[in-house]
């Protein structure tokens, strides 16, 4: 986790002042390419690098696809403990967290509609296809019209 945080801090000094997905991936591609031919401590260093790279991938995957939250284009440090544990082989139940994220967005959507602000955009971070199916079931006025084949 400390290594992931160190990479994030180093990337915060970039021109964009945020750790977006492109910078995050580029950091590990360049690091892997540069370290491939270098002589080091051998096996221990290679294992540490592999563990860091795996943790970095999991951090990006968790941020982007499993637990997305605004801002949507940056790697969130909130997932580093989970990513580090998963990289080391610890099993983690992701379904409760994803379900909580969906319920949070559903509650926000319900509140948004009850305020009568349906003409204003609503930003959801939960998996949209699941949220959309639920909305179409619970709010018939938002369903698309069914096309009847002729």
| pLDDT tens, residue by residue, 5-31 | 888 877 777 666 678 787 888 887 776
**Rounded CA separation 113/77 (Å):** 32
Is the distance from CB of 59 to CB of 52 less than 8 angstroms?
Answer: no
Instruction: Give which of 92, 7, 88, 6 is closest to 54, Cα–Cα.
Output: 88
Name the residue with tokens 């690091």.
31
Is the distance from CB of 96 to CB of 29 less than 8 angstroms?
Answer: no
Query: Mind listing the pLDDT tens digit for each residue in 40-79?
Result: 456 677 787 788 888 889 998 998 888 888 888 888 888 8
Rounded to two decimals, the pTM is 0.67
């Amino acid at each position: 986790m400390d290594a992931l945080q160190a990479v994030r801090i180093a990337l915060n000094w970039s021109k964009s002042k945020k750790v977006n997905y492109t910078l995050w991936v580029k950091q590990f591609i360049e690091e892997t390419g540069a370290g491939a031919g270098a002589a080091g401590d051998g096996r221990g260093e290679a294992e540490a690098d592999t563990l860091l790279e795996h943790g970095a991938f999991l951090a990006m995957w968790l941020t982007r696809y499993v637990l997305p939250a605004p801002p949507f284009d940056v790697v969130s440090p909130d997932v580093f403990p989970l990513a580090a544990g998963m990289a080391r082989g610890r099993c983690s139940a992701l379904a409760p967290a994803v379900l909580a994220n969906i319920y949070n967005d559903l509650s926000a959507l319900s509140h948004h509609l009850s305020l009568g602000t349906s003409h204003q955009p609503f930003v959801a971070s939960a998996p949209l296809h699941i949220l959309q199916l639920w909305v179409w079931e619970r709010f018939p006025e938002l369903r698309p019209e069914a096309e009847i084949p002729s």
